Amino acid sequence: MIRATSGQKKIALAVTGGIAAYKAVEVLRALQRGGCDVRVIMTTDAQKFVGVTTFRTLSQHPVLTDLYDYSESPTPHVDIADWADLFLVVPATANVIAKISAGIGDDALTSALLAAHTPVLIAPAMNTHMWNNPATQANVHSLMCRGYHFVSPQSGLLACGYTGNGKLAEVDEIVSAACKLLDQSFRSASQEAQDLSGQRLLITAGPTHEAIDPVRFLANASTGKLGFTVAAEAARRGADVVLVAGPVSLETPCGVRRVDVISADQMLEAAESAFKSVDAAILTAAVADYTPVMCADHKLKKEHEPLVEIKLKETTDILATLSAQKRNRIVIGFAAETNNLLQNAQAKLERKGADMIVANDVSRADSTFGADTDRVAFVSKTGIEQLETLPLVAVANAVLDKTLQLLKAR
């Protein structure tokens, strides 16, 4: 049976076959300096980059490389999963990410990850084309939706000679993320899982479609992914959630009551109705600022009704409307900007009367509409807090943490 020194936080460090495997040595040493007990699992390919002896000497434990030749246990993949407080995959190749996503356990490392029942933190590193490949991105998104955590790769000069996203995150960033997850997992399980219990939240998500005629509309690029993620995490943490969703192709999160709308007027009506019985509103939706003055009752034909001009009028501002009605309720708005991010967010905070604005620069590839990561700043009367680029699940929980702070401070 695998055992550890009493009181130490225990990390299973999974090392896969990439050139960045040598960085896993630095991660191990940094975790040890932080008081962690670290055991290492390696793939066969990983051993071609860094030797088993290195990790065995530094960790002072046998290294798990084979399911059938491990003296400490006849079922090492299960025992190390029971032992670990956290699994950390550094570096994570596209191949191993795909295996984890598909639930494949065909060696010691993937079998241990399949048996894992504590948090898993993945730090990818690979060629930029491999990272940007739709298959890899789909696997990463799937794992995020299932609760896996990621430290996103950086952009820079790669070992293969390319420049782009795919470079392993800095050691300090990986270790910081691991320590944060460890601290969270060491909280009371009931407190961690149900800290929003009893709170009623309204969340809006997605775009709105403003009809020009029965087949055409004005819209924006919002996908609703962040709003749906916030709703899913809020429900997981015990909140009673009403999700007012614009026209998006996303499944309803478990435990969430969903109201589907199309236009800005419909979203306003649904949001005002739900707002009467909630404690806080988190308005992630990218509501259209303008709508056509008139909607034709038939498809306009370009031969005799060309769309050379569309007269528009402003839609009702949902954020300002709910903020004016909030009394002791909390209202959080979002600002998607392409320039002067913080200045525009601060102006929006004052103009709309919200409690906080979550600002993100949608001109960045890592925080644009539809991305699996986001880089946001929290702007409130007490100041500005800039977050690093994080997976959507992490951003969602950071927003909910802020929401809970504001609710407690009422």
Residues at the binding site are 289, 299, 334, 348, 352
Q: What angle, rounded to 10 degrees, do the helices at 392-408 and 134-145 form? A: 30
* Dist CA 70 CA 54 (whole Å): 17
Question: What is the signed CA dihedral for 359, 354, 221, 237, rounded to 10 degrees?
Answer: 80
How buried is residue 57: exposed, middle or buried, by Cβ count under 10 Å (0-12/13-18/19+)?
Answer: exposed
* Dist CA 295 CA 93 (whole Å): 51
How buried is residue 62: exposed, middle or buried, by Cβ count under 10 Å (0-12/13-18/19+)?
Answer: middle
Question: Could you tell me where the DSSP H helices lie in 290-389?
Answer: 318-324, 341-352
| Active-site hit among 36, 160, 254, 295 | 160
Question: Residues at the annotated binding site for CTP?
Answer: 289, 299, 334, 348, 352
Q: What spatial distance separates the first Cα and last Cα of the chain, rounded to whole Å?
A: 50
* Dist CA 348 CA 257 (whole Å): 29
Q: How far is CA 262 from CA 211, 282, 313, 317, in A?
A: 9, 19, 17, 16
Mark whether 160 is an active-site residue. yes
* Dist CA 306 CA 40 (whole Å): 67
Dihedral angle sign, alpha carbons of residues 319, 320, 321, 327: positive
List, by residue number, the catalytic residues: 160
